[in-house]
Chain A
Amino acid sequence: MDSDDDFNSSQASQDEFMEDSGADFDDDSDLDMDDQDVGFESQDKDIKPTKQAYETEFKVFDPPQIQDSQDKQIAEVSNILVQPPEATAILLRHLRWNKERLIDQYMEKPEEVLENAGLGESSEANPPKITKVKGFMCDICCEDGSDLDTFAMKCNHRFCVDCYRQYLYTKIKDEGEAARIRCPGDKCNRVVDSKSLDLLVGDDLRDRYHELLTRTYVDDKENLRWCPAPNCVYAVECSVKDRELPRVVPTVHCDCGHYFCFGCSLNDHQPAPCGLVKKWLKKCEDDSETANWISANTKECPKCQSTIEKNGGCNHMTCRKCRNEFCWMCMGVWSEHGTSWYNCNRFEEKSGSEARDAQAKSRQSLERYLHYYNRYANHEQSAKLDKDIYLKTEKKMQQLQNSTGMSWIEVQYLDTASQALQQCRQTLKWTYAFAYYLARNNLTEIFEDNQKDLEMAVENLSEMFEKPIDQLQGLKVDMMDKTAYCNKRRIILLNDTAENLKQGNIFPSSLLFYWIINNATGNWEFIVSLT
């Protein structure tokens, strides 16, 4: 469902950046200052004071920082347990980096903890070394001879160095294991520590080993997650716990530019909570055949039935033949959109009497689903078309720029507008999954109004990209206004949904309490359980 295109979201789309910078761009003399401001703001985005209700605190870690925080914790716990760092690292990995639990358990039963982690008796004594042993025969390769290099850890399961190496190679390279490689000895559970490993293997395997250790560190820590963007090496730290996910949608923004959900690693799906997203995607997959025809790229004009192809993201369609203006999503007359009559986003429930028998009910439930799916799929599709048309426009603008000598910054507003469109359509898309599961209450109408306002703002901006290139420069101020308005509408919608997810009930502190109020998710009522 989510395309690779969604990964291209970029740094430049910070909402506040676009809102304050509108006026400055008109004056070329401010250019230098602008650059400084932008740099300053992006550096300090972690501590920006104005946190919106829908925003979540997070921190991005690069690989050296991940290594660093790992080393720090090892050093700290090593001091407390009075164990060497290698052994401490094994203990921490054994207890999945739960520092407090490790210290508690170790203080109570040190021998048992060491034994369970594969460390046997205290491992402070002699460091591991490679030796030759008289009368030795390797139980793996069956070679013997007193000139054979051999190795054993404290458990004394001795093998020739070649076999030991080959064993580690198979575990690391083929099986991708690192933190829990056991001694090759039959039934022995002692874990190979990194000091022993360093002694036995070459640089390339050692690098891979440490890479894998770092992987398991992030995998094991509940508050750390890899950025899922292809080839991205960053991890994100966020304190939102799994049990909080019905109440908060923790979208994070990786330094590579990708927005994703910390809860489920999918692309940003605000305002819909992870539980709904999972259910929705499952439903779309199950019902894909019924719904597929709708997202097709061509439709017939509702008036003259001639075939109409959609080539931009804008949903305001004009039939070439009969000039009929209509809405691509609901196929309704466009003139009714953008007025108080606008109800393209709302599904009108038929009254009970009309849907009495089972067949009618099932037809209505399909219609209801299709109403939301249609709009969901359409925003996804429109986002792609918006991007296509932006890329074409950008190319043409560059040509224009070269011929007229416009400066680079002056076409930046197109990029900014395009980013905003992508982000707003992503949000709109998920508002329809959200709405599908929403049970009507006094809040629904406000939500639908917010959705409608954002949708209109987006369509207005999207429409501008279909204007001829030579007119675009003259529309700069207008376009920047519309961009800022889109972002504003998006923030209003997200704040409203986020606040109402959080509010209503006291936030559950204990798991038991959480189970009791499970189905009530803030002020919203959903037709399904979120877990």
Chain B
Amino acid sequence: MSAGAKKRIMREYGECLADTPPGMKINFDEQNMTKWEVLLDGPDQSYYAGGHFKLEINFPNEYPFKPPVVAFKTKIYHPNVSNDDKGSMCLGLLRPDEWKPPNKVVAVLRLIQTLLIEPNIDDAIEPSIANEYKENRKEFEKSAKDWVKRYAK
């Protein structure tokens, strides 16, 4: 990774520290600055309230010309998070054709918080969960809350 990219990541971390979005904690290791661990509280107004989610943000070598890669390390029942051991997300800013180099990680974190409150049904990675969210909200709510109890406490 180039010196420029490292400088930029350091700077972004500084900005995040100064203005961390509420309900979020970032673990940063200067020895391994391309991998951030984020602890995220389920927003109060969401189905994930009361849950604590661990996320990993990985910066590719080409950062910031390519977007960071986000993975939920805590299982979550959500249309925009892959229901496998990767827990990956690939929408909006996180897509290479949407991401622009001036965009910042903090915008990604805000996007994730927003998605927990209101999933993006049109760009779902799990179509069956998206469909349930649309057609059978009660059932969706039950599973989402159930998973919070099981995995995110």
Contact = CB atoms under 8 A, between A and B. Distances in A.
Nearest to B62: A170
Nearest to A143: B4
A167 B65 contact: yes
B8 A166 contact: no
Given A141-B7, A167-B65, A175 B96 contact: yes
Contacts, number: 37
A273 interface: no
A163 interface: yes
A163 B101 CA distance: 9
A184 B100 contact: yes
The listed residue with most A CB atoms (<10 A of its CB), out of B4, B11, B97, is B4
Interface in B59-115: 62, 64-66, 96-97, 100-103
B85 to A, nearest CB: 27
A142 B11 contact: yes
Interface in B2-38: 4, 7-8, 11
A490 B7 CA distance: 70
A157 B100 CA distance: 12
Query: DSSP class of A's interface residues: helix, strand, loop or mixed?
Result: loop
Nearest to A182: B100
Nearest to A160: B4
A140 B101 contact: yes
Contact of A167 (B97, B101, B103): B101
B4 A141 contact: yes
Interface string A369-400: 00000000000000000000000000000000
A186 interface: yes
Contact of B102 (A140, A166, A170, A174): A140
B8 A140 contact: yes
Contacts of B102: 139-140, 159, 184-186
A187 interface: yes
Nearest to B11: A142
Nearest to A187: B100
Nearest to B96: A175
A295 to B, nearest CB: 39
Contact of B100 (A141, A142, A175, A185): A185
Nearest to B101: A140
Contacts of A185: 100, 102
Interface in A120-169: 139-143, 159, 162-163, 166-167
A437 B152 CA distance: 57
Contacts of A184: 100-102
A159 B102 CA distance: 9
A386 B66 CA distance: 52
A167 B65 CA distance: 6
Contacts of A141: 4, 7-8
Contacts of B97: 175
B11 A174 contact: no
Interface string A176-206: 0000001011111000000000000000000
Contact of A166 (B7, B65, B96): B65
Contacts of B8: 140-142
A111 to B, nearest CB: 24
A186 B100 contact: yes
A358 B102 CA distance: 66
Nearest to B5: A141
A142 B7 contact: yes
Interface string A279-290: 000000000000
B66 A170 contact: yes
A478 B118 CA distance: 79
Interface in A243-286: none
A185 B102 CA distance: 7
A434 B91 CA distance: 45
Contacts of A162: 4
A142 B104 CA distance: 12
The listed residue with most B CB atoms (<10 A of its CB), out of A141, A143, A174, A187, is A141
Nearest to A171: B65
A186 B103 contact: yes
The listed residue with most A CB atoms (<10 A of its CB), out of B64, B65, B66, is B65
Contacts of A174: 62, 66
A143 B11 CA distance: 11
5 contacts: A139-B102, A170-B66, A174-B62, A174-B66, A182-B100
Given A185-B102, A186-B103, 8 more contacts: A139-B102, A140-B8, A140-B102, A142-B8, A166-B65, A184-B100, A184-B101, A185-B100
List of 7 A-B pairs having minimum Cβ-Cβ separation, nearest first: A170-B65, A139-B102, A140-B101, A141-B4, A186-B102, A184-B101, A186-B100
Interface of A: 139-143, 159, 162-163, 166-167, 170, 174-175, 182, 184-188
